[in-house]
Structure formats: structure tokens, C-alpha cells
Copies of this chain bind each other. A is one copy, B any other.
């Protein structure tokens, strides 16, 4: 239930409406935990049912401003310190790599070179965000900087790996043409 705790975490920084939270989400948490509008509104109602947040204000156009409760802060801290993170990383780009042997070597290399390009571009995108952001602001932002740094290092490592892997294809492919049984 990470969406739940993502919302609690954002509300720990101050009151906000679902609409506000959606915008913040899309620009920050969505990099590591995307959520849709309907999912978010549904989860806010469930959090309110469980008294981890309360409606602290109602504005025009049915706007509901939520505030985190002490019970919500307790639950957030519990999640951060006591709950073991899920280590599953589904990665369908990497799943494909298992099967590149079913393609022509040229196609396999093209796939890996493209992966390298995509990750290099992503690395640059994140670097640009770092340059253009004011990191002094709030503590949420300061820790967000750490997350982006991890993204930069991840993208960099993946790009390097993909270039290396593309070279390996020639060597992996070579034995096929040698004398022993394939």
C-alpha cells in the first residue's frame, strides 16, 4: 500500500486537496510511484475513513482540504522505519534481453543501443531538472534531490551496461558459427 503512504507523506508537509496532491504527485513521486487521478481520490477517502487524515477545510467547487492526523503521522513513521520495502522490480525492457538470442545479432545490438540512448537521454533530463530547481526550499524537496541523484546514477549505469552488452552480442553470437553442436 505505497500510494497510501505516499499521500500521507505529502500531507505531512502541510494540508492539501486531492487536486493539489495530484499535481505534486505527477511532478515528483510519479517517477518512482505513478498514480492516476481516480486512484488518488479513492485512497484519500479510505485514509479519511481510517482517521489517518481529516477534512480540515471545504472550499469552492466541492474542494476538500485534508490534514494529516497524529495517527497518520504515527503510521507514516511506522512505514518508514518498521516496514520492509518490497524488493520486486518489474522490468520488461530487461525481460526482453533474455530472449535477444532469438533475433538476428544485428537486431539484438540495435535493441541494446536503443536502450543505451533512452537511458542517456533520461540521465540528461534528470540532470537538467537538478540545474533548474531551487533545492533550498522545503525538506521534502531536499530529500527529493537524493531521489533524483539515484535516478541519475541508475540511468548512467544502465546506459553504460547497454553499450557494453551490445558489444557482447558479437562474442555471444560467435560460438554459433564454430564447429561444435549448437
* Chain A interface residues toward B at CB < 8 A: 2, 5-6, 9, 12, 28-29, 32-34, 73, 76-77, 79-81, 85-103, 107, 111, 118, 136, 139-140, 142-144, 146-147, 149-150, 153-154, 156-158, 160-161, 164-165, 168, 172, 175-176
Contact = CB atoms under 8 A, between A and B. Distances in A.
A10 B95 CA distance: 11
A175 B33 CA distance: 28
Contact of A80 (B91, B99, B175): B99
A80 B111 contact: yes
A85 B34 CA distance: 16
A80 B103 contact: yes
Does more than half of chain A's interface fall in helix, strand or loop, or is it mixed?
helix
A102 B76 CA distance: 9
16 contacts: A28-B98, A32-B90, A33-B92, A34-B88, A76-B99, A77-B102, A80-B99, A80-B102, A80-B103, A80-B107, A89-B89, A89-B90, A101-B139, A139-B172, A143-B172, A153-B160
4 smallest beta-carbon distances between A and B, as pairs: A101-B139, A85-B93, A9-B99, A157-B157
